[in-house]
Structure 1
């Protein structure tokens, strides 16, 4: 954005410089051409006066020839005196006196000036002299004798010096324009930085807003003391919005944690009361009592998972180094009794994972959730495999079962809160396990992937940064 804004500013300045520089350059060229033309017109008029005697008497004038030759030698300007051009059968002009050989009366420009001068009209300044136009400047003046045009004096002047002056003036204007644009850039840079500083701060704050809220950290304010007034108001509004969002989410997490914690006591008391009714109810309602106990257990598990999710969302503790191999071994040992009861073998595969960066007890919580799901859905007398790999600065762990798995279209929704497959509605659970896994893993920039391996079942893999 800084480049685009600076480019727009420089473009405007460049257009302004061109709008002023081009007319100025043309004005310089016009002035230099006018100076040359006026000087040549004065010389031509003077020689037209000197040529009156030659044309009046019709005789050679050695003095005029010497003056023309001297003028040619000193100023390198060809000058010639022609008759009226009406004596030759073809109407051509005849030179009566000439110094230099650069004036050709048959040349189109020279002949046009001769014809105009014969009609009593002097040479006009003509088109603007450009520095790349090397044609000489031709000036013709009529020679009047008793008010009658009797001949024409023509001068042909080289324009090299004038064109050089035009080139130099244009170069000076170009250098001035480049310096003006450069000065504009130097002035615009701090101005653009000042204008865009709040935008940069807002961009950084926006990028940091979501991770801060997700990780339960306080959102740092942007600050509204720099930049244009409109952007300062915008940064203050953003700070208020970010603070409000953080407060709302913190209140929501606190409510979930408090509600879950407060509900545990009455729920525990309710279950005890239901258990105490064992043997004191009619046989007809014993089935209802058992169902009520199961629902109480189910509500208790949901509250436990809600508490775990609230802690995962609200935790502001920074990630810590974790010995992945030690954690995996410990969790497999802890779940061995449950696996043995189902006749399921827990298998560790892969390679040493080493040390990784994860939230405190985050890897343990994730493995517990994945192993709980795997043992819940896998068939009896099957395998649950835990794979560990270390690749490209990441430690990747995967838990694979041999249960019914999911439908391909259900894989993307499996980590949503409270989502459960339609085929697993009769299996105990709340649908929060994988959601908690995703929250914990994403806290350290990891990802969770679900796939359907060959041979059936479900594989859930996640990765965390390696150290």
Structure 2
């Protein structure tokens, strides 16, 4: 944003300077040329007036010689011609002589006003001696264009200096203006990012920047304060519910265990059924609390090694799978991939998926975990060869109690979906080739310096 504002102001200033300075310099140049020409013509007329006294009035050429000498001292070259075009007198230099001068004299004696040429860095002017239509002669004066060129160069030099100074001042002011506007926005962006990462006490600076940015920062702080109060309130409710529900459930389970220890027959069967319902209710409460925590989670991303977590969870669940005659494996030794997830989230995700798969797969079945690169992220697959799901069941599987035919509480996939999406990933369900269900997790890749992760192989779906 700073660069855009700076470049916009610089381009605007450059255009304004060009539109203002260039026409001014052109106008001053034209005025200098006219003034220089007028000065040259005035000097020519002075010599012509003195020459007229000699040519028409037959006075001594003394005054004419004096004016020619004065012109020579001023650096001009002058020559006096009579009505026949013959040179009568001249300065020591010959710049006012030759074919060019003869053409000018011819035009003047014919009563015309010639266009003074500019050749080889000099200006040549011709004036009649006497009346314009009946001249007694003509005077040609050649003057160097060096002083004029010097003045014009000075005009353009000063114009360029003014333009550069204006552009430098504009650059300085535009940079300061851009920083004044963009720095509070950058700070606000950092604060918003930190709030999104879970720093609920983050607040923006409301004392810098334009009034609109300060109002935006104040609005952000109000939103952050309300969000913090809301999240803390929900966390307190969850903690209270967890304590208030688990304590009586635990006490009730203990009492049923005591009663079941001495019961027989029908009573023992009824108490056993009651114990199973209490266990199911406990799992349901734990699942609901887990979903609530996942929905309220604002995780701070950390670097999580997928291969290490997958290997750890497979090792932890292998005894349970073996007890049910289910084969739990990792497809291959894939690359070392690192994802950006909240602490402990990947473990919780895999635990729910493996638990669901172990419950769904029949004896002799298999569960396979795979991982690899997929586009700009990391893909984790959990495949099983169990009964799978219908399209209708897959459409609602990530909702709370979405699958009424689930063996458990129906909250495992809901927890997985909340944890994946809150970390910026996606979760989906697909059919396993040959029968079964495949859970597809696309997780954000942890940014690594140097781009070393770009050369990793891409995971292909089967």
TM-score with structure 2 setting the length: 0.71
Which residue in 1 is equivalent to 2:75?
75
**Partner Cα distance (1:53, 1:149) in 2:** 12
**Partner Cα distance (1:172, 1:377) in 2:** 87
Q: Work out whether 1:244 is the aligned partner of 2:226.
A: yes
Which residue in 1 is equivalent to 2:48?
48
How far did 1:261 drift? Answer: 5.2
The answer (yes or no) to whether the contact 2:361–2:387 under 8 Å persists in 1 is yes
Which residue in 2 is equivalent to 1:184?
170
The answer (yes or no) to whether the contact 2:387–2:436 under 8 Å persists in 1 is yes
* Corresponding residue SS for 1:142: strand
Q: Work out whether 1:228 is the aligned partner of 2:210.
A: yes
> Which stretch shows the higher mean deviation, 438-447 or 389-398?
389-398
1:437-460 CA-to-partner distances (Å, cap 9, x unmatched) read 244456777665644442232222
1:316-339 CA-to-partner distances (Å, cap 9, x unmatched) read 7986978533442122223433x3
* Corresponding residue SS for 2:368: strand
Q: Work out whether 1:437 is the aligned partner of 2:420.
A: no
* Corresponding residue SS for 1:350: coil
1:166-192 CA-to-partner distances (Å, cap 9, x unmatched) read 123312321332132113322432332
Q: Work out whether 1:350 is the aligned partner of 2:332.
A: yes
* Corresponding residue SS for 2:56: helix
Does the C-alpha gap of structure 1 residues 409 and 193 become closer, same or farther in structure 2, counting only changes over 3 Å? farther
Does the C-alpha gap of structure 1 residues 363 and 75 become closer, same or farther in structure 2, counting only changes over 3 Å? closer
Does the C-alpha gap of structure 1 residues 210 and 371 become closer, same or farther in structure 2, counting only changes over 3 Å? same
RMSD: 5.0
**Partner Cα distance (1:167, 1:100) in 2:** 29
How far did 1:267 drift? Answer: 7.3
> For structure 1, which runs of at least 5 residues remain unmatched after alignment?
84-92, 281-285
Which residue in 2 is equivalent to 1:162?
148
* Corresponding residue SS for 2:197: helix
**Partner Cα distance (1:321, 1:37) in 2:** 84
How far did 1:114 drift? Answer: 6.9
> Which stretch shows the higher mean deviation, 190-199 or 50-59?
50-59
Does the C-alpha gap of structure 1 residues 54 and 382 become closer, same or farther in structure 2, counting only changes over 3 Å? same
* Corresponding residue SS for 1:247: helix
Counting only pairs closer than 5 Å after superposition, residues 311-390 of structure 1 correspond to structure 2 as 311-312=293-294, 313-314=296-297, 324=309, 325-337=311-323, 339-340=324-325, 344-351=326-333, 361-387=344-370
Which residue in 1 is equivalent to 2:187?
201
Which residue in 2 is equivalent to 1:8?
8
The answer (yes or no) to whether the contact 1:377–1:403 under 8 Å persists in 2 is yes
How far did 1:305 drift? Answer: 1.1
Which residue in 2 is equivalent to 1:308?
290
How far did 1:268 drift? Answer: 7.9
How far did 1:210 drift? Answer: 2.5
Which residue in 2 is equivalent to 1:426?
405
1:369-399 CA-to-partner distances (Å, cap 9, x unmatched) read 1122213333453222234679999987542
> For structure 2, which runs of at least 5 residues remain unmatched after alignment?
91-95, 449-462
Which residue in 2 is equivalent to 1:456?
435
How far did 1:227 drift? Answer: 1.8
1:23-54 CA-to-partner distances (Å, cap 9, x unmatched) read 44235424532442233122111121122145
Which residue in 2 is equivalent to 1:86?
none
Counting only pairs closer than 5 Å after superposition, residues 144-163 of structure 1 correspond to structure 2 as 144=130, 149-163=135-149
The answer (yes or no) to whether the contact 2:384–2:432 under 8 Å persists in 1 is no
The answer (yes or no) to whether the contact 2:321–2:327 under 8 Å persists in 1 is no
Counting only pairs closer than 5 Å after superposition, residues 54-93 of structure 1 correspond to structure 2 as 54-56=54-56, 71=71, 75=75, 77=77, 79-81=79-81, 83=83
* Corresponding residue SS for 1:103: helix
**Partner Cα distance (1:5, 1:146) in 2:** 64
Alignment partner of 2:97 out of 91, 95, 100: 100
Does the C-alpha gap of structure 1 residues 361 and 353 become closer, same or farther in structure 2, counting only changes over 3 Å? farther
**Partner Cα distance (1:394, 1:61) in 2:** 103
1:98-127 CA-to-partner distances (Å, cap 9, x unmatched) read 7422635657xx887777xx37xx88999x
Does the C-alpha gap of structure 1 residues 31 and 316 become closer, same or farther in structure 2, counting only changes over 3 Å? closer
Kindly tell me the number of residue pairs found equivalent between the two proteins. Answer: 426
How far did 1:302 drift? Answer: 3.3
The answer (yes or no) to whether the contact 1:345–1:382 under 8 Å persists in 2 is yes
Which residue in 2 is equivalent to 1:89?
none
TM-score with structure 1 setting the length: 0.70
Which residue in 2 is equivalent to 1:142?
128
**Partner Cα distance (2:8, 2:376) in 1:** 43
1:126-163 CA-to-partner distances (Å, cap 9, x unmatched) read 9xx9xxx9785444433226996444434343424312
**Partner Cα distance (2:405, 2:85) in 1:** 123
1:206-263 CA-to-partner distances (Å, cap 9, x unmatched) read 3333332xxxx42410121222233222211111112212322343454355446545
